[in-house]
Amino acid sequence: MAHSKESMLQEGDKKGFPWLRASFFLLVLFAVIVPFTAVPERLKDYVKELILAKKEADRQEYVAPEEAPVEEIVHVVVEEKEEIKPSKEKTAVSEVVEEDPIMVEKAIATKEHFVGTKGDMVRMSKGFYFDYTFETSKGALASSEREDKQSYVAEYKLKVRLPKASQSLEELSKVNSKLGDVLPGLSGMLDEAKVSDFYYTLYENKVKRLEREVVQLNELSTKHNFYDCETILNLTHKQSGRKMLLLQGDMDVVSDGSDGDRLAEMPDKIVNSTHYQPFTSYGWKKQTKTPNPMVAGWKKRIGNAKREIADPQTTAERKAWLKARMKMLQRGIDDMEARSFLIAEYDPFIVMPVNVITNRTDSHATRVGDYAVVIVDDVIYPAIVGDGGPTFKVGEASLRMAKQINEKASPYSRPVSDLTVTYLVFSNSRDLPASPPNYEKWRERCAALLGEIGGLGEGYSLYEWEDLLAPQEDDSEEVAGSQNDDATPEKTDAGNTTDVEK
């Protein structure tokens, strides 16, 4: 049953004081009067204080991301600081200041710069330790000191120890305890072994490089790269007269090379790369008319250069550089159209410093194409010297070999960081003329050369490389061939037999 409005009001009056209406009235009154008082400003100040307090708390609780831990880059040795006790002079001044206000101004006027010295040792990101001293002293006016070269000076001394080359079997075995077992004839050659001049030249070149870099303190070569070679020895077998270079070091990765005959297509990112080198020092006459896949990318770069030269906004200096660049690119194209090269991703080879492979006076020097074995732990990999590298580093191999040793290796990640790799290069052992890679032949030649120095130890054998670029035989062609005994090998356009005949 519905109640009328009047009856509802009467019932409300009977219930007592109207609290709801009164509360609403007070809120309205507060909203009208408060803006004309100091309350709003106080509320604003209070809110600001809360916000500032929150920000300060967040700042203090913030922890740097773990992506770049400072401890791994720079290690600072913090020493406990002695508590600084006030001197008698300062105590006397403070007492006078309290007694005589006039002395306050004099005390402030005679205050001088803090003068002192402190030092520390920090580990730089390149692996070396930097021992520094920071010193302050009294000077002249700032305008004068700004013009004086001696007023703001950094002085430091870079000290580097040049390492001793290992020579004895005991020293060589420290990086590979199985070396004596793998090469039983090695100990007999070490009696008359000589530290190679190439070893001393290597570290001389490293020092010269540091001298150039010394003005860029934290851009120096890393400590790891400076100490990348344990030894380089000239070895000669007494009975056979076989000469060799023995190196011990780590292993970096090279990813150069191209060969249209064996690999007609390469990824676009490589073909169009301005950094990828399609050449290796080891090369041979091209076998087919199949173009080198890198030629297209180099021709494209020449076309881009021509268009830029034709642009009227291109400066004369830039045009001169582009023309020189075009000549270099054209020479490279001519070379790729005439010859083929090793491919680091597929071929197992090592790199030697350029000054070693170009030396014509040292009978132990190696040449491009010389045979070599690489010993890692108890595995012996046959290879050849396939390329030349910088004169200030050793220990570099193709991506194929690197990934076989360590599947995580890449052009940006070395397979072996410790100085545990032994490279044994047989001086003047190359075959002429150079020819496409034949891994089985390489293995046989390395085995024969090892036989000249006592062979491998019992239970050890050379690793067998699989040819990843070998053509796959077609079963249907084999069947057809067996049905036609008079069939002759098909010739290519270049006059060479097909891969099947090879």
Provide the mean pLDDT of the chain: 80
- Which helix (H) or strand (E) element contains residue 351? strand 349-353
Is 347 in contact with 283 (CB distance < 8 Å)?
no
Answer yes or no: is pLDDT of 266 > 80.
Answer: yes
Distance CA 33, CA 197 (A): 97
Token couple for 459: 């239970």
pLDDT at 29: 60
For the chain, the structural domain boundaries read 169-255+346-451, 268-341
Stretch among 128-142, 302-316, 322-336, 354-368 having the lowest mean pLDDT: 128-142
pLDDT at 77: 33
Work out the average pLDDT over 298-309.
96
**What's the pTM?**
0.69
Work out the average pLDDT over 454-474.
91
pLDDT at 389: 95
- Give me the helices (H) in 191-275, please: 197-213, 223-226, 268-271
Q: How far is CA 254 from CA 236, 344, 358, 374, 401, in A?
A: 29, 7, 20, 15, 10
Distance CA 119, CA 135 (A): 8
Answer yes or no: is pLDDT of 331 > 60.
Answer: yes
Higher pLDDT, 127 or 329: 329
pLDDT at 212: 86
